[in-house]
Amino acid sequence: MKRINLFLLASLLAWVACSPEKPYQFQVSDLEPLIDSLSSDYFEGRMPFSEGEKKTIDFLVHEFESYGLEPGNGDSYIQDVPLVSVFTEAAPSMEIKSSKESLTLEGLKDYVFWTQRTDSAIAFQDAELVFAGFGIVAPEYGWDDYKNIDVKGKIVVVLVNDPGFGTEDASFFKGNTMTYYGRWTYKYEEAIRQGALGCLIVHNTIPAGYGFNVIQNSWNASKLYLDDRGKEGYKLAIEGWVTLPTANKLFEMAGLNERELLAKARKADFEAIPLGLTASSSMTVKATYNASKNVVAKITGTERPEEYVIYSAHWDHFGIGKPDETGDSIYNGALDNASGTAALLALAKAFHESKAPKRTVVFLAVTAEEQGLLGSAFYAQNPIYPVDKTVANINIDGVNPYGKMRDVSVIGKGQSEMEDLLEVELEKQGRYAAPDPNPVAGYYFRSDHFNFAKVGVPALYFQNGVDHEEKGKEYGMEMEDNYTMEYYHKPSDEYDPGRWNLEGAVDDVQLLYNVGQNISNSIQWPNWKEGSEFKAIRDGYMKK
């Protein structure tokens, strides 16, 4: 605690000493015109590889130029992001065999799978199935679900989430708060490291945080990935999910009890279990290559220009798609994330109109977040500014449209010292930081700040709170639930001045500005807190 207090004290003293006499004060007018424009039908839902993307990129570059910001990538505002669209069409069934019997599983109903490989056809014949618990290798927890087994050429079957879920023990994989080890993307990454042929995750609605119907959207569909031609790494032949009832049928065929397996999988001495089953199926693949764009601008620091604070927001949404019941087919993405992009632009303008920061401040509008955080992943893998000189990331994925709130919801609360700086600024506003109201959903791993965290950069991401200043928490939660049901990823997510109240958004953007000013004028480096799964990464390169 002493080190954190010293960090805060030094940072705040630097901020007081170097801040302008009258800090920039945000108004609704800083945000509303930008949100209204970016979410209009003119931008056609801002889908990568569309005319809507071209219009969006032109708009963002024009805004940065008009504010007087410098190009962020040499003499360009653009960072190309090479992508590949992989369309898979799976066989309608998968055959499971044991030494005594066989079982035919039905695609879409019992399982969903796809591949990142770009071969024109993928087939697996009599591939061995291995139950690998939660599919986790976590040295800091003394955990290795792959010890004493070679899964090369085999398909691993793993459980969703991590062993802490349902234990109520916050010291055991953070209890009900999902760690990255519980995220489905990690399961595939670890299976790749182990050289497995494939990985099937057992779906369970509560620990997954969503129903199997969400998984079914990936059946015979296109997925975007980073184009890694020329530096290809190993990829699984199949990535996918099976329903819990289907998994139980497999365990029963193997002569195993699902409850007993789950109990064993929650213990550190668990060892993977060959199921004595084989699987056979296939799919055809069509790969299409193209490039999307990140937009990046900067304000060069006056004293430490080689140290960087990066604000980020994703500009993309879903473009033109299936019409809703009103016939509207444009997925405008007003809240998600025209509002966050508007906030990024407003922050850039405010920084430019304020006293120049001592550290360089970068404004990064990334592509393809909705396709799997791809724009920020590309940036993290191909950074314009060195990762070991990047002090912090502040990410914006939506603003508060419901009016003034007493709180903000800190996603991944307890991860980094960035939160301590946020709490200082919240206190000035007479507000407070609340934890993520749905920690099991793993939202910390579902927005662009996560790709900065993966390379060790402390990242701050908060969402609007639920404690409404006038109407209380019940109203705030009702508004959140209503957005999820009526507007999230639907054509109805449009800017409506009669429904939106941006006064609370102004407060939150002021927080983002004040925290960024603090860090950009400090000599201190915020760090990860003890227990964060990203601390060792940062500590490693800070020692070099």
Burial class (CB in 10 A: 0-12, 13-18, 19+), 185: middle
Q: Are 281 and 51 in contact (CB under 8 A)?
A: no
What DSSP string runs through 507-539? HHHHHHHHHHHHHHT-S----BPTT-TTHHHHH
Q: Are 88 and 283 in contact (CB under 8 A)?
A: yes
Amino acid sitting at position 518: N
Residues with Cβ within 8 Å of 149's Cβ and at least 6 positions away in sequence, in order, are 130, 132, 271, 272, 274
Closest CA to 268 of 170, 133, 174, 433: 133
Note the pLDDT of residue 265: 97
Q: Is the peptide bond before 464 cis (omega within 30 degrees of 0)?
A: no
For residues 375 and 372, give the distance between their C-alpha atoms in angstroms, rounded to a whole number: 9
Amino acid sitting at position 175: G
Note the pLDDT of residue 168: 82
- In terms of DSSP H, where are the helices of 157-243? 184-193, 205-208, 212-216
For residues 19 and 330, give the distance between their C-alpha atoms in angstroms, rounded to a whole number: 43
The two tokens of residue 14 are 């630097």
- Unique residue bearing structure tokens 């990203």: 534
Residues with Cβ within 8 Å of 53's Cβ and at least 6 positions away in sequence, in order, are 46, 47, 292, 293, 316, 367
Q: Are 460 and 419 in contact (CB under 8 A)?
A: yes
Q: How many CA atoms, within 13 angstroms, populate the side-chain half-sphere of residue 157?
A: 28
Note the pLDDT of residue 322: 84
Note the pLDDT of residue 1: 40
Residues in the chain: 544
Q: Are 26 and 43 in contact (CB under 8 A)?
A: no
Rg (CA), the chain: 24
3-state secondary structure 270-309: CCCEEEEEEEEEEEEEEEEEEEEEEEEEEECCCCEEEEEE
Q: Is 314 helix (H, G, I), strand (E, B) or coil?
A: strand
User: In which residue ranges of the chain is pLDDT below 70?
Assistant: 1-22, 543-544
Q: Are 297 and 349 in contact (CB under 8 A)?
A: no
- Unique residue bearing structure tokens 């989430």: 161
Q: Are 399 and 31 in contact (CB under 8 A)?
A: yes
Closest CA to 432 of 409, 460, 412, 416: 409
Terminal CA-CA length for the chain: 25
- Name the DSSP letter for residue 42: G
Note the pLDDT of residue 452: 97
In tens, the pLDDT along 196-210 reads: 999 999 999 989 878
In tens, the pLDDT along 216-251 reads: 988 998 888 999 998 889 999 999 999 999 999 999
Note the pLDDT of residue 5: 54
Closest CA to 422 of 519, 521, 528, 538: 519
Note the pLDDT of residue 280: 98
